[in-house]
Structure 1
Amino acid sequence: MRFMVIVKADKNSEAGVLPDQALLAAMGKYNEELVKAGVMLAGEGLQASSKGARVRFDDGGKRTVIDGPFAEAKELIAGFWLWQVRSKEEAIEWLKRAPFAGGAEVEIRQVFEAEDFGAEFTPELREQEERLREEIASRH
């Protein structure tokens, strides 16, 4: 099972305050444990929303671009991991070991797998998906 682990933004991350050396070192050690255990597939921190944008898709094909920053910091994402684990419980146990403090909030969401879509995900669509994943992997 794959899980997206979503680190919520706070006033510091939205203000562009970078972590100190102690937190960077602790996070590096934690990420190293995740990689050695075969759990971590990807992970990155994100710049503040002031450097981002949103695109709203309305009925009728209209697209509206909204430049950041965005008002509600607690609804924003400051970073993420993509983990491969056996269960949600295992993901939670790994997350409990993360070096966060100060009221940090992190969300865990299971990633859809091909089999979750049933018959609607036809053999042709599965083949296309596999081909695209192979193409992405070959570029890295």
Structure 2
Amino acid sequence: MIIIKATKLSESGAMPSEEMFAAMGKFNEALIAAGVMQAGDGLKPSKHGKRVLFVGDKQEVVDGPFPVAEKLVAGFWIWKVGSMDEALEWMKRCPHPMPGEDAEVELRPFYEMEDFGEELTPELREQEIRLQSELARQQAV
């Protein structure tokens, strides 16, 4: 997963320029043509969001905006690559995601079922496979 960190400008709700849309569109086309991009999107500023805090056995809802823009997420991609090195090579081709500001992008791998060891019992593994299949079926519709 590629996580694009928010900035003060993205949190302000400023829209990308036509040039930025074109550059990212070209990059996304290359990702899709290579079979790398599985999903991706930008997120509205945190003023449109909510957080749910789990405190003990209670839940507390907090309305946005949230402080410290640099700790927020402005957008994401989900890529299917063979290694972190391959993801980094793709990232080096990415247009600057926040022109006019310093930006941070974080690359994080998803867990695979084999990462969970014995805690993922055969029954739980079967359930996970069934759920993934159902998600794929729903997305195909």
Q: TM-score when scaled to structure 2?
A: 0.93
Identify the residue that residue 71 of structure 1 maps to in structure 2.
Answer: 67
Identify the residue that residue 95 of structure 1 maps to in structure 2.
Answer: 91
Aligned equivalent of 2:32, options 35, 39, 42: 35
Q: How many residues align?
A: 136
Q: Equivalent residue of 1:24, what SS? A: helix
Q: What is the letter of the counterpart of residue 54 of structure 1? A: R
Unaligned runs of 5+ in 1: none
Distance 2:103 2:90 in 1: 16
Alignment of 1:47-86 (within 5 A): 47-59=44-56, 61-86=57-82
Distance 1:62 1:119 in 2: 30
Q: Equivalent residue of 1:50, what SS? A: helix
Cα distance per residue 1:85-110 (max 9 Å; x no partner): 11111111101111114321100011
Distance 1:84 1:14 in 2: 28
Give how far 1:134 is off. 1.1
Distance 2:84 2:9 in 1: 29
Identify the residue that residue 14 of structure 1 maps to in structure 2.
Answer: 11
Distance 1:18 1:128 in 2: 41
Distance 1:132 1:17 in 2: 38
Give how far 1:66 is off. 0.5
Unaligned runs of 5+ in 2: none
Cα distance per residue 1:26-57 (max 9 Å; x no partner): 10110010011111111111010000010110
Q: Equivalent residue of 1:139, what SS? A: helix
Distance 2:110 2:117 in 1: 15
Matched, 1:23 2:17: no
Q: What is the letter of the counterpart of residue 59 of structure 2? A: R
Distance 1:30 1:116 in 2: 31
